[in-house]
C-alpha cells in the first residue's frame, strides 16, 4: 500500500509523461461543487423518497411522457444547480489542456462544469442540462428559459409544444456521434484517469473496455468494479487530489 503523497506524485508524473490523456468521470466529480451524486450515502437515491418513485423511474422516457409535471418538479429540484461552480478537479483538467496537453473528457455528468472550467473537448454521454428543445418544432432553449418558465412544464415560445431537456433519460439510447467520439478517444489514450463514478450505469461504464494503454488511474471514494484493472487506485475526494497535484490555469 503506497502512501497518499506518493500516489499523488506518481499520478502527476504519469500525467506529465502521457501524450494522450482521457479523463472519464461521473457524478462524484461534481459533489465537491455541491451537486449530490446518485449513489453515495448522502446522494439523491437516499435523499428523495418523497416522490414515491425512484430517480430511475422518474427520469425515464416513459415517465416523462406520462407525467411531465412530476418529472419536471423532480428534475428542477434535484438535477439542476444553476449556481454550481467548477471545483479543483474540473479546473485541474482544464489547466492541462490549456498547457497544451492532449486531454479529452468523457463524462456521464449533465452539469456542464467541465466546459465552465475551460475544457473544450468534452464528450457528454448523457447530454446537458444547458441544452433543451421543443418536441413540436425542435426549437432550442437554454437553461434560463426552462427555469424562468411560469409553468412547471416549459412550453415552446414558437409553437406551444412541450420543451424537454437534451439529456439521455433512462430507456433512451446515447447519441451515436458522442459515443463514437468517446470510444475512439479512450481507444487512443495512453493514460486513462477514471474518477467519481460508481461504474454501474451502462453502456457508459463498458467504455473502459476500449482502453488499451498501460496506465489506468482510478480516483473514487468507494470501491468500483474496475479497481482490480487499475494500475493505481486513489480513494480520496477527487477535487482534493487535483488540488494537490496543483496544475494551475
Ligand atoms: P454515481 O453512481 O452516483 O457514483 C458516484 C461515485 O462517485 C460513487 O462511487 C462515489 O463513491 C464517488 N464519489 C462521490 N464523491 C466523490 C469525490 N468527491 N471524489 C471521488 N469520488 C467520489 O454516479 P455515476 O456518474 O457513476 O452514475 C451515473 C449517472 C449519475 C449518470 O447518468 C449521471 O448523469 C448521473 N448524475 C449526474 C450528476 C451531475 O451531472 N453532476 C449528478 C447526479 C447524477
Ligand atoms: Zn416548438
Class of domain 1-35+85-126+173-249: alpha beta
Phi-psi region of 162 (alpha: psi -120 to 50; beta: other; left: phi over 0): beta
Could you tell me if the CB of 110 is within 6 A of ligand 1? yes
Where in the chain are the domains?
A: 1-35+85-126+173-249, 36-80, 128-167
Q: pLDDT digit string (tens) for 184-240?
A: 999 999 999 999 999 998 888 899 999 999 899 999 999 999 999 999 999 999 999
* pLDDT for residue 47 is more than 60: no
Q: Which ligand is nearest to the CA of 226?
A: 1
> Angle at which helices 4-17 and 238-245 pack, to 10 degrees?
70
* pLDDT for residue 4 is more than 90: no
Could you tell me if the CB of 111 is within 6 A of ligand 1? yes
Q: Residue 49 has what pLDDT?
A: 66
Q: Which ligand is nearest to the CA of 163?
A: 2
* 61 in active site: no
- Ligand 1: residue whose CA is nearest its atom 25: 26
Ligand 1 geometric centre to CA of 46 (Å): 13
Which atom of ligand 1 approaches the CA of 239 most closely? 18
Residue with cell 479543483: 88
Q: Residue 203 has what pLDDT?
A: 87
Averaged over 11-20, what is the pLDDT?
A: 97
Could you tell me if the CB of 126 is within 6 A of ligand 1? yes
- Could you give the CA distance from residue 200 to residue 109 in angstroms, rounded to a whole number? 14
Q: pLDDT digit string (tens) for 143-152?
A: 999 999 999 9
* pTM passes above 0.85: yes
* pLDDT for residue 76 is more than 90: yes
Nearest to 191 by CA among 162, 164, 213, 206: 213
Q: What percent of the chain has pLDDT over 90?
A: 83
- Could you give the CA distance from residue 229 to residue 215 in angstroms, rounded to a whole number? 10
- Could you give the CA distance from residue 68 to residue 113 in angstroms, rounded to a whole number? 26
Which atom of ligand 1 approaches the CA of 107 most closely? 25
Q: Are the beta carbons of 213 and 191 closer than 8 angstroms?
A: yes
> Based on the number of CB atoms within 10 Å of its own CB, is 49 exposed (0-12), middle (13-18) or buried (19 or more)?
exposed
Q: Residue 45 has what pLDDT?
A: 60
- Could you give the CA distance from residue 209 to residue 143 in angstroms, rounded to a whole number? 34
Domain 128-167, what fold? Answer: SIR2/SIRT2 'Small Domain' (3.30.1600)
Topology match between the domains 1-35+85-126+173-249 and 128-167: no
Averaged over 45-73, what is the pLDDT?
A: 85
Averaged over 134-160, what is the pLDDT?
A: 97
Residue with cell 435523499: 47
Q: Residue 40 has what pLDDT?
A: 66
- Ligand 1: residue whose CA is nearest its atom 23: 27
What is residue 155's DSSP assignment? B
Q: Residue 48 has what pLDDT?
A: 61
Query: pLDDT tier at 57 (50, 70, 90 boundaries)?
Result: confident
Amino acid at each position: 500500500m503506497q502512501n497518499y503523497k506518493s500516489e499523488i506524485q506518481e499520478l502527476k508524473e504519469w500525467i506529465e509523461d502521457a501524450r494522450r490523456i482521457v479523463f472519464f468521470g461521473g457524478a462524484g466529480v461534481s459533489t465537491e461543487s455541491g451537486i449530490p451524486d446518485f449513489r453515495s450515502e448522502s446522494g439523491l437515491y437516499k435523499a428523495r423518497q418523497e416522490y414515491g418513485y425512484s430517480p430511475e423511474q422518474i427520469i425515464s422516457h416513459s415517465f416523462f411522457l406520462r407525467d411531465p409535471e412530476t418529472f419536471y418538479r423532480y428534475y428542477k429540484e434535484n438535477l439542476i444547480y444553476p449556481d454550481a461552480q467548477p471545483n479543483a478537479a474540473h479546473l485541474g483538467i482544464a489547466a492541462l489542456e490549456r498547457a497544451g496537453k492532449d486531454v479529452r473528457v468523457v463524462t456521464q455528468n449533465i452539469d456542464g462544469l467541465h466546459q465552465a472550467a475551460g475544457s473544450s473537448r468534452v464528450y457528454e454521454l448523457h447530454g446537458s442540462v444547458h441544452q433543451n428543445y421543443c418536441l413540436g418544432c425542435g426549437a432550442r432553449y437554454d437553461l434560463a428559459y426552462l427555469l424562468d418558465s411560469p409553468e412547471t412544464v416549459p412550453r415552446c415560445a414558437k409553437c406551444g409544444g412541450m420543451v424537454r431537456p437534451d439529456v439521455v433519460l433512462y430507456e433512451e439510447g446515447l447519441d451515436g456521434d458522442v459515443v463514437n467520439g468517446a470510444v475512439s478517444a479512450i481507444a487512443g489514450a495512453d493514460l486513462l484517469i477514471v474518477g467519481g463514478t460508481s461504474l454501474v450505469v451502462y453502456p457508459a461504464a463498458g467504455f473502459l473496455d476500449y482502453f488499451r494503454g498501460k496506465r489506468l488511474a482510478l480516483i473514487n471514494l468507494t470501491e468500483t468494479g474496475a479497481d482490480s484493472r487499475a494500475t493505481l487506485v486513489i480513494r480520496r475526494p477527487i477535487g482534493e487530489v487535483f488540488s494537490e497535484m496543483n496544475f494551475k490555469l
